[in-house]
Chain A
Amino acid sequence: QSALTQPRSVSGSPGQSVTISCTGTSSDVGNYNYVSWYQQHPGKVPKLMIYDVSQRPSGVPDRFSGSKSGNTASLTISGLQAEDEADYYCCSYTGTYTLIFGGGTKLTVL
């Protein structure tokens, strides 16, 4: 199964909002509300930012929000800050207890 489709890169200026899309199929993103998003800074371990499409773990700023429409999930970061510059990955349940990640998106804060 191919990875979920994410844009290779997005960018925004401090204070702006950016949205990262994650497109799957009716067998994964479109069929389950088990989409999660991870932030990974260079050389660091991935960090869970969003789970169950739109839920934030404790400690994650409310500037981070998630949504889903059809086969596409989205991560929106509002009030962009320099420390948000990182790679972001989406992940979806695919049924039969398997998961699939997106290819990753590099966020650049201009």
Chain B
Amino acid sequence: EVQLVESGGGLVQPGGSLRLSCVASGFAFSDYWMHWVRQAPGKGLVWVSRINSEGSSTSHADSVKGRFSTSRDNAKNTLYLQMNSLRAEDTAVYYCTRDLPSHTETPAYWGQGSLVTVSS
């Protein structure tokens, strides 16, 4: 069974940093592209970033480009989202998602999410 478990969320002041982790199990982590998707309270889904299976290529939404970075450690089956220069508008539940087999553009499996609150 595919399992994705996020951690690292919490309350942070504007301008601060936070690193989210997502531990994967139940599948060959190193074979899949991964995405981060966020959802502000009461709002819709917003794609944040993606990383290829090797970890050599990443893409980020314009709203987080230059502030967030995505990485992975295939030996530890773990995906990361490093968030710097956080703003109030970054407040959201952050979901770690796994792509469909043989796909790179379809978040298919979702973790339970990690809440990040940016507030003074």
Contacts and interface: CB of A to CB of B under 8 A. Distances in A.
Interface of A: 1, 3, 32, 34, 36, 38, 40, 45-48, 51-52, 57, 87, 89, 91, 93, 96-104
A84 to B, nearest CB: 18
Interface stretch (B8-16, B18-26, B77-85, B110-118): B110-118
A51 B59 contact: no
- Interface size on B, as a range, is 20 to 34
Residue in B45, B103, B104, B108 whose Cβ sees the most chain A Cβ within 10 Å: B45
A97 B113 contact: no
B46 interface: yes
Contacts of B110: 45-47
B107 A91 contact: yes
A47 B46 CA distance: 15
Nearest to B61: A98
